[in-house]
Amino acid sequence: MKLHQELLELRQTEKRITSEILTKLQEMENCRGYLKMGHSSLVDYLVRGLGYSEATAYQRQACVRLAREIPEIKEKIDSGDLSLTAISTAYKHLRGKPIGEKRHLLKSIENRSSREVKKMFLEPMTPLKIQKTEYADKVYLRLELTHEQNQRLEKLKALRSHKHSIESLLVEFIEKELKNYENTKFKLSNSKNPRQIPKRLRNSVLKSSGYKCQFPGCESKYFLQIDHIHPVRRGGKQNPENLQVLCATHNQQKG
Ligand SMILES: [Zn+2]
């Protein structure tokens, strides 16, 4: 059938392109060129720079990182024995394992669907698990507790008898913690250590940055650090004008 023939050819092209993209992404990861473009990580570059969905971006990143360690998996990806979804499902379970074991586990997930792979790595019960699902108008959080944690939560609820629901406890906690951070009145510190930034000054710098990395082009809201624009060791002062917010990656890059 002609249509089938055409699809087979397109599928071959698709495989070839996927493989080419992975090769180029590896180059990009090796030179970390995305940092200068204002991206905080390869995933960030894949999403904002190349327009991948977040889920796809994580898959690509997992493959790039694994392929750097175990180059032969690229052939398996090209031949279709290893799917990108299977690799990314297994990826987090491979972290920290010796290379021999990684190879062995990767071998065991060849030609399996991501659902099968998920079953192979049944996750152990973590002490506190939250499942988050985002919708256009709201976010659902599903919280998984051990019986012991639940008992402690019930105890807290009983102690705070005027608040009767877990929901109101949680909302109260969020508001209290945020208020703590958003309180930005500060005095310039008399502290002997010029690197140590008082909490209120820190909060004020964070607030004026919009709680995100200030490196040009970067939007990262994670692992934010306060950086002295003019370094302390070269006489940089600890005042708001000399402080900026950088994500860990850009702070590290600045050195
Ligand atoms: Zn950044």
Per-residue pLDDT of the chain in tens (255 residues, 90 and over written 9): 899 999 999 988 988 898 899 999 999 999 999 999 999 999 999 999 999 999 899 999 999 999 999 988 888 888 888 888 889 888 888 888 888 889 988 998 999 887 888 878 765 555 667 888 888 888 888 888 777 788 888 888 877 766 568 888 888 888 888 887 777 665 554 556 767 788 888 889 999 999 999 999 998 888 889 999 998 888 888 888 999 999 988 998 887
Using the Cα atoms of residue 176, residue 179, residue 181 and residue 186 in order, give the sign of their dihedral. Answer: negative
CA–CA separation, 245 and 221 (whole Å): 10
* Cα-to-centroid distance, 39 and ligand 1 (Å): 6
Q: Do residues 45 and 29 lie in contact, with contact meaning Cβ atoms separated by under 8 Å?
A: no
* Cα-to-centroid distance, 231 and ligand 1 (Å): 18
CA–CA separation, 161 and 204 (whole Å): 35
Q: Do residues 182 and 194 lie in contact, with contact meaning Cβ atoms separated by under 8 Å?
A: no
pTM exceeding the 0.85 threshold for the entire prediction: no
* Cα-to-centroid distance, 36 and ligand 1 (Å): 10
Spell 88-120 as b/e; 16+ CB within 10 A means b.
bbbbebbeeeeeeebbebbeebeebebeebbee
CA–CA separation, 178 and 184 (whole Å): 11
